[in-house]
Each structure stands twice: as structure tokens, then as C-alpha cells.
A and B are shown apart, each in its own frame.
Chain A
Amino acid sequence: MKVYMVTDLEGVAGITQWDPRHEGDTPATAAVRQRFGRWLAEEVNAAARGFFAGGATEVIVNDGHGAGQTMDVELLDPRITLFHGTQRPDYCTGLDETCDAIASVGTHAMGGTPHGNLAHTMGRGVRYYSFNGIHVGETGLQAFLAGYYGVPYVFCAGDEWAVREMQELCPGCVGAAVKMGTSQLSALTCTPARAREIIEQGAEQAMSVIGQVEPLDLDSPVVFREEHDEQRFDEESVPPDRRVINSHTLEIEAETILDVLNIKYGHDPDWKPAWRQQPQADTEG
């Protein structure tokens, strides 16, 4: 059983402030960032322990926050395989039909969620993302992409509001609520240590809902829409494969969500990871 885990920072217990990675490199920001990297890594470890205890044989972790290398790799459970870095070749590298489940750790609610702690969708200033009219945050987007591969979203660790969001989108998935936001920058939280216990327990339970939770499904064609607070688009200068609805709103229509994301992020649709190409090369040789 192979589990794909996407991580983010804002839903980690004990964190209520934005990652100060753009605030200058000072001893103070360094201390905060090191602490956050440790806390994220330990929540990831806790989830991995739960997945392995529940029957997983492989856990791939996608270091999804910010610059793509947020978690402290020195602390990671050696059974984990980590995908990290920037300039990624596709949206969720390693997520495909060979996975049995997708999960998220450090999850925050979608932009605009009342009381959601550090709630946002991708960048700040995004009003919403939607697929075929269904509003999603970052994690909802990932669950839809997983659904394209027939992979169910089974586990959400993070802010209470993120857990509710994902349980509504993917009924039957297991949540591990480690804090409850009371505003953008405030929350009631358990300590990192207690969060790890809850996450481990929830992750183990999540393995038992594989096969029960339906993978998310989107009818073709898939219409993706993004709306921004600020004016971002020019009706008279429309980029290829896109529709400018107005200066705040853009649409991409394509056959599948994978096509949509490849257009959105400019990824090469023919790219396949080497580890997928390898078996083919072997048989040909």
C-alpha cells in the first residue's frame, strides 16, 4: 500500500504566523524557521508512523510549502521517500495511479474561510479556485488531481476548519484536528507533542478507509476558475488556452484536471519521472 502525503506549514500545531522566509535572514527569523521545520517534520513522521502501522508499505512525502524544502530532513523517518525542491516538473510529482491513497499534513483552510488560521489559497489575494463550479483550497485541488488517478483522499491533519472542508469534499476521510483557528493569525492549539499523538492515531485509522472513500471525480471538460482580489488579467491580451472573464477572473478549460494544471503551471504534459520510464527501458533492452 502506497500513500502520497502532501505537506504544508500553516496547519501545523503551534504555528499562527506566516513563514518569515521573506522577512530577511536574521537570527530571529532563522530560529523561527528552524523551529517550524522541526515541527513540520515531526508531524510528518507521526503521520508516517500511523500509515505504516495501518498497513502502508511506502510513504511518499511532498514537501509542499513555500520554497519546497521546509521540513527538517535530518529528523525524517527513514522509511519515508521525500520529494522536495522548486522548479518541479509537474504539480504533484510521484502522485499517480500506483498510489493507494493521498493525505495531507499541516493543512490550512481555503482562502476566505471565516476564522481559518492562516487560511489562503496559493497566494494571498486569491478569492477562490473552483473546478466545474466546486470551490476548492489547495488540498481540495490535490484531492481532485488524485481522483483523476483513481486515488482517494483519506486523511487531513491540520486546522479544524481545513478538516471540515476536506470531510465535506471527501466524505469518509479521517481528520486530525490539531488546532482551531479563531482568525487569520490566531488559534487555540494543542502542543506539537500532543498533535503528533493525534496525527499518528488518525493516520492509522485512515488506512482502514481506503476502499471506502470514493476518489473525487470531475466530468470532462474540466473548467477551472480563479478569482483574485486585485486586477490580474487583461481582457484584450488573453494568454493561450485561457479565457479572461474579467480583470479579476480567469478560466482554463481542458479535457482533464491534469491538462488544466499542466496549462496553468506550464508543465510539459509528456514528462514522466525516470522511475516510471525505467521498467519500459528494461523490457525494451
Chain B
Amino acid sequence: MRIYIMTDLEGVAGVCQWENRDDDGPWNTQRRTRLSRLLAREVNAAVDGLAEAGFDDIIVNDGHGAGSTIDYEIADPRALYYHGLDRPFWLPFLDETCDATGAVGAHSKARTPDGTLSHTMSSAIRRWSFNDIEVGETGLQALIAGYYGVPFVFAAGDVWLCREIEELCPGCVTVPVKYGTGRHSALTLVPERACEVIREGAQRAAEAIGRVEPLTLESPVLFRDERVEPTWDEETDAEEEGVRIINAHVREVEGDDLMDVLMKMYPQYDRDFKPEQWRPGVRT
């Protein structure tokens, strides 16, 4: 049984400040080392619980920032990890071969009141919706999974993210590890306790597979992309097929299905990229 786990940093217990990847100094380097450890421990707790729940095939996407945040020296060797930059897609290996998907370290979508480190992809984005369903990063993950018929069953992170994803994917298991009280503050479990509750929640993730409907969209798919700053130019950006500029903050992108829209949003991605079902091992 295969599960695909997306990870992020901002929803990890004990984190209430952005990661600074520009400061190379000793203090910040130590801080980043600790963040990697905190994330790895939460991932390990999830992997442990998921393995106990019967998942024998666990792919973890190291999704935060520079794409290599998890401390691999302590990461659970039972999982495989997808990491790095210049990726051919946001969530490679999440496809119809997966039985379920989930998230660890997840944060709420942009402009969530009291959501700790809430954002959607970057600080530039104000609001994203697909066919009027408002999503953050975790919601988009659930939609991509749904495109392949895969249910979103498990999330660990900020309580506001948990509520957000429960609404989109009723029946999924959520594990709030902190209670956001503002963009840069939270009431949090200490890392050790967070790992305990994540393990317990992950153990119940398999039960949610039959219970949660994959999150799907009707065709055509209309993506609405709202930016904080004036970004789009009504006179030039509308020339692209399927793109409508509503005003300088808002554009709409229409496509036959979700993947069609995603390829218009991210022209650098390769729609034909279909990775092999790879497993490490001795080859003779």
C-alpha cells in the first residue's frame, strides 16, 4: 500500500518564524540545522505510524524551500525521499499508483486569520481558487491527488490548516500540533509531544482511505489567481490562450482539466514526465 507524503516547514511544531536561507552566519546556520532536525523527526513519526497502519511503500516529498530541508542523517530509512531543485513537476511520483496522500508540517493558506506563517506558495499570492474552491498548498495537493483518483487522508500542522483541509476532504485524519495566534506566533506542542500525536494520527490514516472521497474538479477547470501586488497587464498578458486578465491583481486561467491548467501556470513543468516506479536496490 503506497502513500505519498508532502512536507513543509512552516507547520512543524516549534516553528513560528520564516526560514532565512540568505544568512550564512553561525547562528542562522545552527537554526536551520535545528529546523531540519525538527522536520525530520515529525516525518519519522509519520512514517512510523504509517508503516504500522500497513503502508509498506512511503514516498516523502521534501517540499520546503530549497527542496532539501529534511535531515537525511536521521530520516527513517523505510521511506523514499524526493528532493532537490529544478523539478519536472511540483509533486512527482504522486499518481494513480498511490493509495493515499497526506502532509506533514503543513501550514494554512494565504490570509488565514491567525494562521501561523500562512501563505500560498509565496508571499506574492493573495488567493487561489479552482472552480471557486479556495485552496492553499495542501488543498492543491489534494486536488492533484484527486486528479489521479487518490484521496487525501492525513495532515499534520497548524490547527488552521487542519480545519482548512477537513473542510475540503471530509473524513481525513488531522493532527494539529500548534494553534496559530497570528502570522508569527503560536501556542505549540513541544517537538517530542508533536511527534507522539503525529504517530498516533498516522496510525489511523489507512482507515480514512475508504472514507474520504478523492477531491475532483469538473471540466472545464477555471483557476483564479489573485496577487497581493498589481502583477498582470490587461494589455499584454491576455494574449496567452486560456488566460483572462480581470484586473492588475487578478487573472483567470481556463483549461480542460487540472493538469492542463497547472501546465499553463507553470510552463517549466513537463506534462509528459512520467517517472518509473523506482526502488533502490542491487542490480545484476
List the interface of chain A (C-beta within 8 A of B). 13-14, 16-17, 24, 26-29, 31, 35, 38-39, 115, 117, 160, 163, 167, 174-180, 182-195, 197-198, 201-202, 205
User: Once the chains bind, are A185 and B86 in contact (CB under 8 Å)?
Assistant: yes
User: Once the chains bind, are B59 and A188 in contact (CB under 8 Å)?
Assistant: yes
Give the contacting residue for A194; candidates B24, B278, B280; CB below 8 A. B280
Q: Mask for B55-84, Cβ within 8 A of A = 1, else 0? A: 000010000000110001101110111111
Give the contacting residue for B282; candidates A27, A31, A187, A202; CB below 8 A. A202
User: Once the chains bind, are B77 and A27 in contact (CB under 8 Å)?
Assistant: no
Question: In the bound complex, how far is the Cα of B283 from the Cα of A175, in angstroms?
Answer: 5
User: Once the chains bind, are B282 and A188 in contact (CB under 8 Å)?
Assistant: no
Question: In the bound complex, how far is the Cα of B83 from the Cα of A16, in angstroms?
Answer: 7
How many positions in chain B have a CB within 8 Å of any CB in the partner chain? 37
User: Once the chains bind, are B275 and A180 in contact (CB under 8 Å)?
Assistant: yes
Question: In the bound complex, how far is the Cα of B79 from the Cα of A13, in angstroms?
Answer: 13
Q: Which A residue sits closest to B270, measured CB to CB?
A: A183
- Main SS at interface, chain B: loop
User: Once the chains bind, are A187 and B72 in contact (CB under 8 Å)?
Assistant: no
| Chain B residue contacts of A24, Cβ below 8 A | 24
Q: What's the minimum C-beta distance from A72 to chain B, rounded to whole angstroms?
A: 13
User: Given contacts A27-B29, A174-B283, A188-B93, is CB(A160)–CB(B84) below 8 Å?
Assistant: no
User: Once the chains bind, are A182 and B88 in contact (CB under 8 Å)?
Assistant: yes
| Chain A residue contacts of B218, Cβ below 8 A | none
User: Given contacts A27-B25, A160-B278, A180-B278, is CB(A187)–CB(B284) below 8 Å?
Assistant: no
| Chain A residue contacts of B24, Cβ below 8 A | 24, 26-29
28 contacts between A and B (CB under 8 A): A14-B72, A14-B81, A16-B67, A24-B24, A26-B25, A27-B24, A27-B29, A27-B30, A28-B24, A28-B28, A31-B33, A115-B88, A174-B282, A174-B284, A177-B283, A180-B278, A182-B82, A182-B84, A183-B86, A183-B87, A186-B83, A186-B92, A187-B82, A190-B80, A195-B280, A198-B282, A202-B283, A205-B284
- Listed residue (B26, B72, B80) with the most chain A CB atoms within 10 angstroms of its CB: B72
Interface: B276 (CB within 8 A): yes
Q: What's the minimum C-beta distance from B35 to chain A, rounded to whole angstroms?
A: 13
